[in-house]
Amino acid sequence: MTLIRGLHNLRAQDRGCVLTIGNFDGVHLGHQALIKRTVSLAQALGARAAVLSFEPTAREYFAPERAPRRIGTLRSKLCDLQALGVDQLIVQRFDQDFAQCSAQDFIDRHLCARLDIRGLVVGDDFRFGAQRRGDFALLQQAARARGFVLEGLGSVCLDAARASSTLVRDALAQPDLARAAQLLGRPYRMVGRVRGGLKLGRTLNMPTANVMLTRAPALRLGVYVTRLRRLDGTDARALPAVSNLGVRPTLGMTRCLLETHVLNQSLDLYGAPVAVEFVQFLRAEARFDSLDALAAQMQRDKAAALAFFARQNA
């Protein structure tokens, strides 16, 4: 799959695609329905399947202090879209110029002139353009005039509730991992590249693979039973693990970090892209009075994770 950073970077071969548009945070079941239909229509028309997304989101741009926490990272979105058969992801910077683009101008300049779309798949409640004045009816007029295929999909519902990023965030905040997995169609995961850290875990006999997070996550901070997968093709196994998601208050840190200890294995994961799947919540993040107290709790967390996997294999 090709990542294109900005509509201005489109190449000739990127034009003539079948497109869907949205932030697709988490790529939940509702998003998946849109994307699968986009891929199917692209195949029928002999075109590339494309997704147009935005960084930052409109809510993050207009009211960053009230914007919801992200479910996934750009890297996790890339993994999900590629698995669904998307050919190209276009990440458009959302700034003042783009925010002022009228709905009609968005159609004329971007969908038709730049992308030359052959098809467009959106939710039937999709809104776009300055002040969200563009709607499905305006797209229908454009489709008739410009000759592209337009499809509108209804909502995907679970237990009479519309699958949405808001519902996923609510489940992660509790955390209700089973409900989040229902809405996502898979276990919730975080994807990133393993970076070097303070090596404190190694000192405390629990070495960790560390993934830095650029934003505060939607998932409740704490300790979890997890599974770690390498994404570089060297090892496809889901490795039993225990992870701490938090800011490490005992050490006086403030930046959020995902630290994962693979159980009963010594691995060199530095630089490797990994996915960490969250299986069960163990406890909330806590501040300890000493490193010895922290080390003792880490061993209890490890024992709890080992016991969980032992029950699963019994």
What CATH number should be reported for the domain holding residue 141?
3.40.50.620
**Size (the chain), residues:** 314
Q: What is the pLDDT of residue 312?
A: 87
Output the domain CATH number for residue 191: 2.40.30.30
Asked if 141 and 11 sit in the same domain, the reply is: yes
Domain range spanning residue 254? 187-313
Judge contact between 236 and 225, C-beta under 8 A.
Answer: no
User: 273-296, pLDDT tens digit by residue?
Assistant: 999 999 999 999 998 988 889 889
User: 75-126, pLDDT tens digit by residue?
Assistant: 999 999 999 999 999 999 999 999 999 999 999 999 999 999 999 999 988 9
Percent residues over pLDDT 70 in the chain: 96
Sign for the CA dihedral angle at 57, 59, 62, 66 comes to: negative
Question: Is a pLDDT exceeding 60 seen at residue 243?
Answer: yes
Where a domain ends, among 143, 161, 179?
161
Residue 124 vs residue 50, higher pLDDT:
50
Question: Is a pLDDT exceeding 60 seen at residue 314?
Answer: no
Judge contact between 38 and 48, C-beta under 8 A.
Answer: no
Q: What is the pLDDT of residue 114?
A: 96
Structural domain includes residue 167: no
Asked if 157 and 196 sit in the same domain, the reply is: no
Asked if 54 and 129 sit in the same domain, the reply is: yes
Asked if 150 and 191 sit in the same domain, the reply is: no
User: 200-216, pLDDT tens digit by residue?
Assistant: 656 667 889 999 998 88
User: Residues with Cβ < 8 Å from 157, sequence gap 6 or more?
Assistant: 163
Q: What is the pLDDT of residue 265?
A: 86
Structural domain includes residue 173: no
Question: Is a pLDDT exceeding 90 seen at residue 21?
Answer: yes
Q: pTM score, two decimals?
A: 0.92
Domain count across the chain: 2
